[in-house]
Structure 1
Amino acid sequence: MSTRLPEQALSAAVDAGRWAPSVHNTQPWTFTLAEEEIGLRADLARKLPVEDAAGRELLISCGAALFTMRTVIRCEGYEPLVRILPDAARPDLLATVRLGKEIDADEATWVLGGEIERRRTHRAGFADVPVPGQLIESLVRAAMSEGARLTPIRSPGAVGVVAALTRAAQNVQAQDPPFGLEAIRQAPRAGACTGASPARSESPRPAPDFPQRHYTWRHDWNAPEEKETASGVVAALTTRGDSPGEWIAAGQALQHVLLHAAAHGISAAFHTQALEMGPLRDFLRQELFSGEHPQMIMRLGVTFDHHQDTPRRPLPEVLE
């Protein structure tokens, strides 16, 4: 049972929510805390109008923050009571969270909670170390428990298709001036996630066939020399529908998968380029994912690279 007061549990949840992964580290969320209820809001000032015009990636990011808060509330000894999109008149209010009955968190919840501040996004190749099939199956179950599907892409041909579409999308985006300007504006935030150190401008060495975004252009930081070049396990996170509610569910599933993977020494690298172009995303939905809507493409693997701390918005900036 909880030894923390309700207001302490809610404050701990909000503080932890800041550590969720987000599109290009934009951290596009704010929180309200009043009358023993957390309100999770989309910070539309941090939306990417070119890359993410519909706000899909923004809501996935906020969904990840929601799962993080749910996990911490359980660790604090309470059952979280969540309402998704509770007020149609306030579309930026994505969820509310209140405290339910007192509970004893199980070991799995404590393990997830312990990874919240340790988990880091990877932006390069992986070591040539296999990811156990049993672990992949547990990640599939984690995503399913949040209303999404994690599908490991086993066929080399299918992996080749995903890699080719990722390269094509990145090449097209590189020729799009508005997209390029937006990427440059996001570079200081996104580059902070790479563990980069001041040096000559150079991108980390990617896995074969899976390009990374070039955040180092015109910036004086650089990732260390990479020796890990394996692709890891390529996987897609999909949902049956494609509404804001499903985007939030995808974000919760994503964070559940990432925390569970991190607890077993597995990191993730993200490749969203093809999903940001409607025709390519629709092609993937129809041809590879049985009509389900792809929300995230990632690679999962082992890395021995050291990741530096990821800067976070200070609590007073995100707590209204």
Structure 2
Amino acid sequence: MSRFEEDARLAVEAARWAPSPFGRRPWRFRIGDRRIGVRADAGRALDVADPQGREMLIGCGAALHTLALTLRHLGHAPRVRLLPDPDLPFLLADIDVPEGGGDPGEETERLYEQVEPRHGDRGVFRPDPVPAGLPATLREEAGREGVTLRAVTEPRDRDALGALAGAADHLEPYVPGRDPARSRGWGLPEVWGRPGTGLVVLLTTPEDSPAAWLGTGLALQRVLLRARAEGASAAFHTHVLELPELRELIRVRLCGGRFPQVLLRLGLLDPEQVPPRRPADALVQEDY
């Protein structure tokens, strides 16, 4: 096995730690001649909760960012081409890895160190606020992928989102393995108003398309790793956006017409619990 093949498999291993709906890891990789193909694994899609595949592609984008970051950590200079073939809609990206590379740098190393420890928390944050400069930093990270990050600081807007999250808890049945933050009382406005709520964040895009969903995943993992590097963890509330009526209401009333793709809260951690991940061998496909 060549050094590239060894490093490619290490990158696939690291991609297991990217967030995805229900922790299903709906992606597959094909390792070729100094190239890695990233495909959506439609067999692991959620036909009821995610009929369009929006959350599936967001998860794939997060895995793609993790893969590229790990390759840079290993001394490579990956070149990512998104949606390279319109005739192959499930082929999301090709990553070319030319020979050579260089020192990954301190910033790459710092972010790579967050890949495995980062995971969705159950939302029981300490009452301490996140660092003052964190929202601006995360806004810049999301913007690199063409995604807007809005920190929801107005109490009325925050409480409205909390009420909608609580409504979604009642309108959709609880399914084990989905959003860790739901069914713990964190969707209720009286709880969201307490100090342990953390920072409420929306990721939005001007369009609602596969390219936008994939870009959201890239931005999401940038945001999560940067937040983790600053000591913050995330609690997801994606179930709110799975209900078309609630998502449309949030788009019109709270996002200025932009499409909400991710709703989460960021806060400082208490002791963590790490969820299971699919083994790396299950994510590598020998041929398409």
- The TM-score, its normalising length taken from structure 1, stands at 0.82
1:259 aligns with 2:225: yes
Q: Is the 8 A contact 2:12 2:283 kept in 1?
A: no
Q: Which residue identity does 2:239 align to in structure 1?
A: Q
Q: Which residue of 1 aligns with 2:188?
A: 209
Alignment CA distance shift 1:127-1:295 (3 Å): same
User: Which whole-Å deviations, capped at 9, do the CAs of 1:275-295 have from their partners, x for residues lacking one?
Assistant: 111122112112111121110
Equivalences for residues 32-111 of structure 1 within 5 A: 32-100=30-98, 102-111=101-110
Q: Which residue of 1 aligns with 2:160?
A: 161
Q: Which residue of 1 aligns with 2:143?
A: 144
User: Which whole-Å deviations, capped at 9, do the CAs of 1:102-138 have from their partners, x for residues lacking one?
Assistant: 1322211111111111112111321101112212211
Cα displacement (A) at 1:210: 6.5
Q: Is the 8 A contact 1:123 1:206 kept in 2?
A: no
Alignment CA distance shift 1:206-1:162 (3 Å): same
Tell me the distance in 2 between the aligned counterparts of 1:14 and 1:249: 19
| Unmatched tracts of structure 1, length 5 or more | 175-179, 195-202, 212-227
SS at match of 2:166: helix
Tell me the distance in 2 between the aligned counterparts of 1:19 and 1:35: 25
SS at match of 1:79: coil
Q: Which residue of 2 aligns with 1:133?
A: 132
Tell me the distance in 1 between the aligned counterparts of 2:9 and 2:238: 32
Alignment CA distance shift 1:210-1:106 (3 Å): farther
Name which of structure 1's ranges 48-57 and 272-281 shifts more when overlaid on structure 2: 272-281
Q: Which residue identity does 1:19 align to in structure 2?
A: W
Alignment CA distance shift 1:68-1:6 (3 Å): same
Cα displacement (A) at 1:204: 7.2
CA RMSD of aligned residues (A): 2.3
Cα displacement (A) at 1:190: 4.4
Alignment CA distance shift 1:44-1:208 (3 Å): closer
Q: Is the 8 A contact 1:208 1:230 kept in 2?
A: no
Q: Report the identity percentage.
A: 39
Q: Is the 8 A contact 1:126 1:207 kept in 2?
A: no
Q: Which residue of 2 aligns with 1:314?
A: 279
Tell me the distance in 1 between the aligned counterparts of 2:233 and 2:185: 14
Tell me the distance in 1 between the aligned counterparts of 2:149 and 2:178: 25
Q: Which residue identity does 2:276 align to in structure 1?
A: P
Instruction: Select 2:246's aligned residue among 274, 280, 305.
Output: 280
Q: Is the 8 A contact 2:39 2:91 kept in 1?
A: yes
Tell me the distance in 1 between the aligned counterparts of 2:102 and 2:26: 31
Alignment CA distance shift 1:7-1:281 (3 Å): same
| Unmatched tracts of structure 2, length 5 or more | none
Q: Is the 8 A contact 2:128 2:195 kept in 1?
A: no
User: Which whole-Å deviations, capped at 9, do the CAs of 1:3-58 have from their partners, x for residues lacking one?
Assistant: x9333332222221111111111111111111221111111111111110000000
Q: Which residue identity does 2:205 align to in structure 1?
A: T
Tell me the distance in 1 between the aligned counterparts of 2:46 and 2:104: 37
SS at match of 2:188: coil
User: How many equivalent residue pairs?
Assistant: 281
Q: Is the 8 A contact 2:123 2:265 kept in 1?
A: no
Cα displacement (A) at 1:269: 0.2
- The TM-score, its normalising length taken from structure 2, stands at 0.91
SS at match of 1:8: helix
Equivalences for residues 152-301 of structure 1 within 5 A: 152-174=151-173, 183=175, 187=176, 189-190=177-178, 205-207=184-186, 209=188, 230-301=196-267
Alignment CA distance shift 1:82-1:268 (3 Å): same
Alignment CA distance shift 1:103-1:291 (3 Å): farther
Tell me the distance in 2 between the aligned counterparts of 1:229 and 1:135: 17
Q: Which residue of 2 aligns with 1:219?
A: none
Structure 1 runs (4+) greater than 4 angstroms displaced: none
User: Which whole-Å deviations, capped at 9, do the CAs of 1:149-183 have from their partners, x for residues lacking one?
Assistant: 11100100000111111122221213xxxxx6xx3
User: Which whole-Å deviations, capped at 9, do the CAs of 1:68-118 have from their partners, x for residues lacking one?
Assistant: 011111111222111111112221111111114513222111111111111
Tell me the distance in 2 between the aligned counterparts of 1:76 and 1:319: 19
